[in-house]
Amino acid sequence: MGDVDDDDVFKALADPTRRKILDELADRDGQTLFEICARLSSKHQLGSSRQAISQHLEVLAAAGLVHSRRDGRYKFHHLDTGPLTHLTDRWRHRDTKET
């Protein structure tokens, strides 16, 4: 994920709704947009519109945290924790520089 800017990852994580989306994808990876919306509204009382959730997914995708996959007629969204790996290393291990 070298092409993803750390700024994009921090910005993506700054939003509580986007963090909930990641929580739910961590609960079960590979969900349709409908399932993500249903989980947010019924489990977290987050009444965001489908368009709003779709836009949140685009931000998460730009940060490399979510990958969308077409499987025949369906589209599934998957969690990718790869961009998180080096996020805080520069403070914990001082020889790692900001990229």
Partner 1 sequence: MRITITSVLVHDQAAAERFYTEVLGFVKKHDVPMGGDARWLTVVSPDNPDGTELLLEPDAHPAAKPWKDALVGDGIPYTQFAVDDVKAEFDRLRALGVHFTQEPTDMGAFTTAVLDDTCGNLIQIIQMH
What residue ranges bind partner 1 (CB under 8 A)?
A: 28, 31-35, 38-39, 42-43, 50, 73-76
Q: Which of 15, 13, 16, 22 is nearest to 67 (CA)?
A: 22
Q: Which of 66, 72, 40, 68 is nearest to 53 (CA)?
A: 40
Nearer to partner 1 by C-beta: 10 or 34?
Answer: 34
Amino acid at the residue 65: L
Minimum Å gap between C-beta 46 and partner 1 is: 13
Nearer to partner 1 by C-beta: 4 or 52?
Answer: 52
**Is 26 within 8 Å of 79 (Cβ atoms)?**
yes
Nearer to partner 1 by C-beta: 12 or 31?
Answer: 31
Nearer to partner 1 by C-beta: 68 or 81?
Answer: 68
Classified as helix, coil or strand, 7 is helix
Handedness of CA 24, 69, 12, 55 (dihedral sign): negative
Minimum Å gap between C-beta 17 and partner 1 is: 17
Minimum Å gap between C-beta 41 and partner 1 is: 9
